[in-house]
Structure 1
Amino acid sequence: MSVLQAVSVVAIIGVGVTVSIAVGGFDLSVGAIAASSVMAASYAMVVWHFSAAETVLLVLALGLAVGLVNATLIVRFNVPDLLATLAVNFLLTGLQLIPTAGRSIATGLILPNGTSANGVFDPAFLSLGRTRLFDVVPLPVLIMLTVAVTAGIFTERTRFGRLIFAVGGNELAARLAGARTGRLKVLAYSLSASLAALGGVIVAARVGRGDVSSGASLLLDAVAASLIGYAVLNARRPNVLGTIVGAIFVGILLNGLTMLNVPYYTQDFVKGVVLVGALALTYGSARRRH
């Protein structure tokens, strides 16, 4: 359960990345969206004295808005997805630091105008990241499973899910077949950004402060989980089940390295080796069969 709780946020964000890859794109802004969501949630409660419900709605709305910005750049202005989402990533990374002059957010924060923020985190909000159902199952794990099941059914069992994969496979053929490719891309990037915002909400609820470095590794971990998922059940394509398995695998791997006292600065290297190996085995076996 500790490992599942540790990887729950990465898995949720990874599902969003998976949807963006399925539609033939790649969302590089998810890490910045999650980090900005942590800061926005903390600012809303500490500075604006928002309740838990108001904060969650605000952060999810901001995530959706960023997803629509990504989609507008990609669909309306024909900006390549990597460039558009990378630009938004840089934009959010800088924007989240401006309201607090680069400081982390906690009760007693001194704002740039010299006033002190005396708001506190709503206990109902903190329960999102700290509650354990029956004192066993952490609430973030249940949220992760709910997202995984819902997204899995949506992508694998519904018409819209099949159309998303069709657009990712051959956009021109999908358009000629009558699919509204632009709207499907808007849907995919909106889902990706909203799930990243949800991940940020869980991080803020677990940590209980707006840490400026909270989203530093979320992008790389989520992308690694999504790409490792290509090798699960020999799928050779983005899939939600593979992403969840990939996130859990990375979590178990890092937990094992920690227990073996392996230096922390080698962990990214190990994740890279696992990712390269998984992709090499996946596409290498596919090429041999052909």
Structure 2
Amino acid sequence: MTSDSDAVPAPAAGPHPVHRLGDVVRNGAIFILLAALMIGFTLAQPAFIGINNLMSILQAVAVVAILGAGVTISMAVGGFDLSVGAVAASSVMAASYAMIVWRFGVFVTVPLVLAFGAAVGLINAFLIVRLRIPDMLATLAMMFLLTGLQLIPTAGRSISAGLILEDGSTALGKYDPLFLTIGRSSVGGVIPVPVLLTLVVAVVLYVLTEHTRVGRLLFATGGNELAARLAGASTARLKVLSYVISGTLASIGGIVVAARVGRGDVSSGSSLMMDAVAASLIGFTVLGLRRPNVFGTVVGAVFVGVLLNGLTMLNAPYYTQDFVKGAVLVGALAMTYGLGRART
């Protein structure tokens, strides 16, 4: 007869197979949907999987990914930057005005536009940190301000070579050919420069947010600002940093758009904000992180790009695209959060 102390404890039961499957689906939901989309579009239109089309998709989503990364940084500190689309559109107009009207070259125009984006980020931070205006209200007000401001210098007209100014004179400047290479050239004739620029931005921000003390403090501020402050973090400076980064990234996106289009189009940023926000939110579902993350945002931007490109190749009506994007976003979020709630 054995005592209780001599009994061999039963091995702990591992996760139930259903739970393991749920974890896999939840963590990889976006990749499962992305693979399904690519397979489906390839079967329907074999040209979809061609290298030229894939590079075209990446080039198309480059600006969305850059802007989405800015939104992600603002979300990391518990904020939400709704002005990124307006900053990008204003940067397009600013770059065009600098070259067409002021006749600046690329080496003056690019720093000028980047400084403009950083300045907008500083103003957003001032409104949020110093005046304590809720982040969504402050950046929404900035969005409306910039949307109207960008139209004033040209009386609502797009900017291109030969622009007739309000005093009746003709602008004599033109786009710097070196500036245009930012949006139109490729490395090795295969990889577009905007794709490489997006990759550099993503890697730098990924390292900053995931592998540095500053990144940990950014997320700590967003998770519990009071606790982060009590732990010695300067939450005000972290918020300023996040909005300056967001504004600067938005101006980079505007530079890429201006270099690709070759004119200051007043409607160039009409959908950028919504697409950037969608990419950021889809990023929450990547690997089941359920928090802002740069890698997930880039994946989300690629996901949206694949979806829209495939629908276009299948001649789907343009007015159905926003509905499909919304439906897929709801599905991805439901797979991530719904399965997680069912598990608990």
TM bucket, shorter chain: over 0.9
Cα distance per residue 1:87-144 (max 9 Å; x no partner): 0000000000000000000011111222111210000100000111011110000000
Q: Which runs of 4+ in 1 moved over 3 A?
A: none
Please name the residue that 1:34 is paired with: 88
Cα distance per residue 1:20-39 (max 9 Å; x no partner): 01110000000000000000
Whether 2:188 is the aligned partner of 1:134: answer yes
Cα distance per residue 1:225-283 (max 9 Å; x no partner): 11001111111111111001110011000000001111011111111111122222222
State how far apart, in whole Å, the 2-side matches of 1:87 and 1:175 are.
28
Structure 2 residues not aligned, in runs of 5+: 1-54
Please name the residue that 1:21 is paired with: 75
Letter in 2 for 1:81: D
Moved more, 144-153 or 266-275: 266-275
Moved more, 269-278 or 151-160: 269-278
Overall identity of the aligned pairs, in %: 71
Alignment of 1:207-246 (within 5 A): 207-246=261-300
Q: 2:227 pairs with 152, 161, 173, which one?
A: 173
Letter in 2 for 1:41: A
Please name the residue that 1:46 is paired with: 100
State how far apart, in whole Å, the 2-side matches of 1:104 and 1:202 are.
17
Whether 2:69 is the aligned partner of 1:9: answer no
Q: 2:164 pairs with 110, 116, 120, which one?
A: 110
Letter in 1 for 2:256: I
Equivalent pairs counted in the alignment come to: 290
State how far apart, in whole Å, the 1-side matches of 2:343 and 2:255 are.
44
State how far apart, in whole Å, the 1-side matches of 2:275 and 2:149 are.
23
Letter in 2 for 1:82: M
RMSD (Å) for aligned C-alpha atoms: 0.7
State how far apart, in whole Å, the 1-side matches of 2:322 and 2:76 are.
25
TM-score (norm 1): 0.99
Letter in 1 for 2:334: A
Larger radius of gyration: 2
Alignment of 1:39-118 (within 5 A): 39-118=93-172
State how far apart, in whole Å, the 2-side matches of 1:225 and 1:267 are.
15
State how far apart, in whole Å, the 2-side matches of 1:178 and 1:137 are.
44
Cα distance per residue 1:163-183 (max 9 Å; x no partner): 000011111111111110000
Q: 1:182 pairs with 236, 252, 255, which one?
A: 236
State how far apart, in whole Å, the 2-side matches of 1:166 and 1:277 are.
29
Q: 2:313 pairs with 255, 259, 275, which one?
A: 259
Letter in 2 for 1:51: G
Matched residue SS, 1:109:
coil
Residue 287 of structure 1 deviates from its aligned partner by 2.1
